Amino acid sequence: MEQYRIETHLHTNHTSKCGWLDAAALAEGYAQAGYAAVAVTDHYNRDTFEYLDLDTTAPDDVMSHFLDGFRRMEAECAKRGLKVYKGAELRFDECCNDYLLYNYPDELLARPEEVFHMGIAAFAPLAREAGALLVQAHPYRKKCTPAFACYLDGVEVCNLNPRHENNNPRAEEYAALHGLLRTGGSDCHRSEDIGQGGILARTLPEDAAALVRLLRSGEYTVIGAE
């Protein structure tokens, strides 16, 4: 049976300060690598808004700028037959942890200062109420610590970014210990990162809501952790 390759963690240079690649390069790279879909998880943190020269206290137009990378990916991936899902990688002021967010309404992130200050404990119930999925990225990378499991839906157990020591086995253990769902991703920033990770599934989600349903079902394989 055919399996679809889905990237769950990538960054564009349109939004993420650390991204090296534009939407056209990413879309072409993932098409060539045999992927059927990608989730765009540009960084949502203070560095991002400084890079975009946005005032986080005047949120009226924040999301249109933050989602520029996602919108450009939609256009470029449509030319190549790839599906695109809206995501984000959040960092709160409380620590250096990063959290992947999928299937969220724009309103949830429309006021950055409030989001940055609230932290994971206050944000998690709002995300769940909105139908979003919250996954801690690379919880054992340097300066990161695993969040209390009650605030998480899942853990990225196989981050394949080659420039960090991600301690993926420890993340796998944490997910198993607390019964959290497991994801994997390339954490793509540069050309050499394209197509290194993600998930394999027998169904291809139509949109971000369907991606969340797939992740909640557990009916997929984490690339690199087979």
Q: Report helix, strand or coil for 13.
A: coil
Does the pLDDT of residue 60 top 70, yes or no? Answer: no
- pLDDT at res. 59: 64
77 close to 92: Cβ distance less than 8 angstroms: no
Does the pLDDT of residue 13 top 70, yes or no? Answer: yes
Q: Report helix, strand or coil for 83.
A: strand
Percent of the chain past pLDDT 90, that is, above it, reads: 95
Tokens coding 20: 């090296």
Burial category of 149 from C-beta neighbours within 10 Å (exposed 0-12, middle 13-18, buried 19 and up): middle
Q: Minimum mean pLDDT among 54-68, 119-133, 176-190: which range?
A: 54-68
Q: What is the pLDDT of residues 29-44, one digit of tens each?
A: 999 999 999 999 999 9
Does the pLDDT of residue 226 top 70, yes or no? Answer: no
Confidence band of 2 (pLDDT split at 50, 70, 90):
confident
Q: What is the mean pLDDT of the chain?
A: 96
Q: Degrees (nearest 5) of the Cα angle 27, 167, 41?
A: 30
CA of 51: how far to CAs of 34, 56, 164, 182, in Å?
A: 32, 12, 22, 31
Average of pLDDT values for 181-210? Answer: 98
Say how far apart CA 158 and CA 182 lie, in whole Å.
8
Say how far apart CA 151 and CA 170 lie, in whole Å.
18
Q: What is the pLDDT of residues 95-135, one digit of tens each?
A: 999 999 999 999 999 999 999 999 999 999 999 999 999 99
Percent of the chain past pLDDT 70, that is, above it, reads: 98
- pLDDT at res. 56: 87
- pLDDT at res. 225: 82
The partner residues of 181 in beta bridges, in order of sequence, read 154
Threshold 0.95, pTM exceeds: yes
Does the pLDDT of residue 165 top 80, yes or no? Answer: yes
Q: Minimum mean pLDDT among 28-37, 167-176, 217-226: which range?
A: 217-226
